Chains A and B, each alone.
Chain A
Amino acid sequence: MSPPSNNLKDIPIYTQAEEAYSVGNIRALLAEIAARLEKLDENGETGMIDLNSLPFSPGEYEQLRQILGQGEVSARIEAIGPSEIIETHYPGVWWVTHYNVEGDIVADMIEIARLPEIIKSQPEDVHAGLERLKAQLN
């Protein structure tokens, strides 16, 4: 609870997803996300949920999008086709979608972490980049 203030600027702003009614599948999925987010909160344990393997009617998929919404962060990766990553309204809950060069979805998942693995620079790439940079300097 922030201390009361007279200044309008000091009042924090929270954006909220519009009211969406949950259906059977969505409720179960949200429960699982909540459980994993709890683990992240307690001891930093990360998790991933593959959406391709879950039964969705098209309407339910859109509902999930609506409920989780879009938060402050969005990122785009270009690696053999684009990948779109957004942080949802719930910090720590990320939506990662991988596309191939033709634009088909090849993987679609919810990742619960402080930062999705795919965004982090991979150690091997760092090492290879270092070699290149050193070569550049010489």
Chain B
Amino acid sequence: MSKLDGWELVIGLEVHCELRTATKLFCGCPNMFGDEPNTNVCPVCLGLPGSLPVINRQAVEFAMRIGAALNCSIEPSTFHRKNYFYPDMPKDYQVSQYDEPINVGGYLELPDGFRVGIERAHMEEDTGKTMHAGGDGRIHGSSHSLVDYNRSGVPLVEIVSAPDMRSSAQARAYVAELRAILVAIGASDGRMEEGSLRADANVSVRRPGEPLGTRCEIKNVNSLRSLGRSIEYEAARQVDLITAGEKVQQQTRHWDDANGRTITGRTKEEAEDYRYFLEPDLVPLAPDAAWITTVRGSLPALPAERRGRVAAAAGAEPASQAVVTVVDLELDDLVCAAVAAGADGRIALARASNEVAANVDAGRRLDAGAFASLVKLEAGGGLTATQAKTVLGELLETGGGDPAAIAAARGFEAMDSNALDATIDEIIAAHSDEWARYREGDPKMAGFFVGLVMKATQGKADGKAVNAALQDRLKPA
């Protein structure tokens, strides 16, 4: 019985995506993670007196691509200043988009077909990074902080979903799918662990049918796992409060991963007044119809479409783990090429989502023709599954080659069934006690016999075939 039974979770997500441009949003400093602090800065991104912003065309292109991929309307837009004081903000205002964002009104479809509404996806600049010193690294208890402005001015698109999600699993699926889309269109490198994709969750609870409850925003979530855990924790926390007769206060809470809880931020006497006004140092964006059409037309196949394609080729479900895995790892083309060459789709998908997936970098370099040949060998019985996996391992290492030649070099060939039967009979005869226990259903005995058969045949037998043969001998003669 979950504490949340009888309660409905309402979840909206705000995902910040750092764009994969060469330079920052308003200046020509490199957009680069991991460089020495304060080496990628200039008058503009340091907020020096007299500096002025000029918008990066590529950032606009990526923002439009994101809007197109999320089925948004791409609109003329303006930039506003969001005014507040914080040391990671060199101008003590952030340039963002307020009431006229570049993308509005779209949706994202989860692999299972559930649609999450996208309210807007707007452009803004990233802040610098602060490190807290003198304590345990957190703000509370620190004696001073250190600021690096390399990240200040990096272009972001903030994607705001409608509060359509109803479970932490859906929230995770949303972020996973969004990430896959952003990577597919080239807008992001998807590295959540480096902070290039950051998710804040707005969570509230209510009894079904009742109006929306007060929501809290959870920040500082750095992985899909933390996203799930933090949402579960926060929902339970709110249920506890309401059940105890207390009110949920609207606030921003931070996810403390080490201790598995959300903690309240600084309590403020008054809500922040950002005093938004139109950024006078910039002029509006109004992409013309031709540019918009070009952007929409230049999108590559998105993950949903690719999953559908490889699922159809392999005879699998689009939402199945194997399909999701191969598309996620960009191995779907390999599978589709194998099928197109006449190989068995089910086996191609299985090998791709397991063995090739385990060695993705090599898998992306793997020669499609070699892969197709290998699948055909296995499908046609020329190789056992075990043998095929071994050959595949070698193919991955070398990036190609002739599977048949590799198999021959290793002395692989499928065992013909008569020889196999004979071998099995010999072994059974030599181990009558163990056979008796096998007949009685001792589960360990199957492995015992399969092991002996494999040893006797020097691995040439196919494990499944051996099991089947043993089972056959259980039937009355």
The finding on whether chains A and B are genuine partners in a shared complex, rather than unrelated, reads: no
